[in-house]
Structure formats: C-alpha cells, structure tokens
Amino acid sequence: MTTPLPVTGAWRPGDDPGRRRFVTLFEARPHVLEAGGRLSSVEVAYETWGKLAPDRSNAVLVLHALTGDSHVAGPAGPGHRQAGWWDRIVGPGRPLDTDRWFVVCPNVLGGCQGTTGPASPAPDGRPYGSRFPVVTIRDQAVIEAAFADALGIERWAAVVGGSMGGMRVLEWAVSFPERVDQAIVISCGATATAEEIALSSLQIRAVQTDPNFRGGDYYDAPPGHGPHAGLMVARGMGQVSYRSELELEQRFGRGHQGDEDPFQGGRYAIESYLEYHGEKLVRRFDANTYIVLSRAMNHHDVGRGRGGVAAALRRIECEVTIAGVSSDHLYPLRLQYELAELIPRNGGVEVIESISGHDGFLVETEAVGKVISRALG
C-alpha cells in the first residue's frame, strides 16, 4: 500500500531533530523585515562539522539553495530524509576539510527544515501559513548575521554558496564586508533576471492554483490532501530549467517509461523522471516555503537602495571567487562575468565544464571542490 503524501514535508516541532541544533533570536523585540513585515522571534536550525578554533578564526559558513537545508553532509536517517546535498565537499580531507575548518550550515529564513517559516508555529500556536511575511535575500543574510552573533562568530574565514546560497553570499559580502575574509559565489548573478522571475512566478502560480492550497492555510488537512499536484508541477518546471537540453536528451531522449506506450496513455521516460522528483520533493518540502523562497529569489538585487549594482559591489572588501557552470541557461555565465567586472578583488570566473546545467554546482562535486580548495588555499 502506498503511503499517502504528507500535507507538508516540513520539519515540525516534535519531529526527530537528527543532527540539527537550534538558536532562537529576537525574543526581546520584533524583527522588522525589509518589506515592512515583522517576526516576534526567529528560530534557526543549523548543523556543524569540525571544531571551532580557540580564536574562532576557522569558521566557514555554507549557504544552501532553494530546496536545500542545513544537512549539507551526512547520511539520510532519522530527522533527515535525504543524504547531505554536498556530502563529497564537507568532511575530513575533503575540500571543506573538517580537520581544518569549522563548517556551519543554517536552514534559511522562510525554510521548512527547522528555521522559522510558513509551517512554523506563529505566536498564537497555529502555523503561519498565509500570514508569513515577505522575506528577501537581504533579510536572510541579516538573520544569518544575528545567528553568527549567537554562535560568537564575529568573522567568517569564508562564506560559500551556490544559486540562492550564492545570492546570500553576495549579500553577506556587501552588507557585512568586515565579517567575511573570503566569499565563494557559485552560479548566480547580482540580480534576478527577467527570465528567472518569469520561471519562478509560473511555479508560484502552479502551487497557488492547486485547490488544496487553500490560500496557504492547508496544514490542518488530512494526509493526501495537501497541495501536492501544484507543488509537483512547480518542481517539474524548475527541474527542466535546472538541467540542460543536451543532458535531458542524452539521458531520456524519446524513450518510454518501461513498457508503457505514450500512444495508449503511458509516459515518456522524461515524464516519469519529473513525476518522481515531484513526489520526492513533496515528501520533504513545504508548498508555502517554495513560494516564499521563490519570491525572495525574485526580489534579489544587491543594488536595491545602494545606488545600483556597481556601487553595491564596490563595497566588497574581501577576496571573491566566482564560478559558474558552462551549460547553465538559468544563471548563465554572462551573469558571473558581470560580477567579475564589478567586484574589486576577484580572480575572474572559474568555469565548471558540465552538461548538467544549473544543477552542475551540485552534481560536479569534484570540479566544485577544486574551486573551493583553490579559494581556501
């Protein structure tokens, strides 16, 4: 018997924490967000690897992408539905060598794996749902800075991230230049492009038009009655944009799924692939979080309120390593070259050769690891 899909794949209080630890921020006063919303408190879920040096000089902040979380390394198991998303990058003898570095990865503000987000209890005890405020990439970096304060880390030896994580790396370097020694920015640009906004907006609409979405207040629905269909369609749209046409053609072509005949209602192999990844996401993610984080990415603009992109990037004081994937059509290399032209201290763009498209920053761990190792020396 197939297990019904959960209404939400969010981690909820009372679930097994796995390797997560928690820090609560802003208990004494509300935190005002960039768009004017307020949060009375924020809980941050995070994981660490390695040991913090006595002088606290070896801390590295790793920032995850849209559907990632704090579990950057380690096996699947209680509390963690999948293995670490950069498992080959973090660990003893690996590019982020935990015999040398104290690696920290928090779940992002608005996320669904322990950090305050739409599925979290609001002050009245009910999930925020539709009441969760608009958050931006800049808000997320501000929360991460307060989180670093709570850990007693005044300055990061490096801040590392790709895609949405790379956006937050840029915000860290611009907003807190005195707190970052090295920034490693992978597969993103200084602002969201029109195409990125268009694709994210369509994915948001797919979730919102699911009848079970209920305006974002679906958490009391029984299992099997969440906004699964909408989230699966959104994930499928995203999945196509994350990969390259060449890779999909080589992997699937016009092949059928098993013995199924598409002329008789069966599926092409690529359709089965998208359905599989859609269901997999539903079991570990939250529809509201998908919307909140997609909107945050749409709002990404390091130049907002700072005199434009060029002026903002001139604020950066640290060394910056910039990398992109050769076949990435969602965050194409031209965006990384633009960063290299505008950021004062950088070594140009390191190109990761891959046919995997945007997801190359997750798939090509050997090449990405070399970029990180060279940056950290």
List residues with catalytic annotation: 163, 328, 358
- Provide the pairing of β-strand 38-39 with 31-32: antiparallel
Buried residues in 229-267 as b, exposed as e (16+ CB within 10 A): bbbbbbbbbbbbbbbbeebbeeebeeebbeeeeeeeeeb
- State the maximum Cα–Cα separation within the chain, in Å, rounded to a whole number: 67
DSSP 178: G
Extract the tokens encoding 269: 């192999």
Mapped onto helix, strand or coil, the DSSP state of residue 193 is coil
> What distance lies between CA 171 and its chain's CA centroid?
14
CA distance 369 to 362: 10
DSSP 154: -
In this structure, what are the phi and psi dihedrals at residue 98, rounded to the nearest 5 degrees? -75, -5
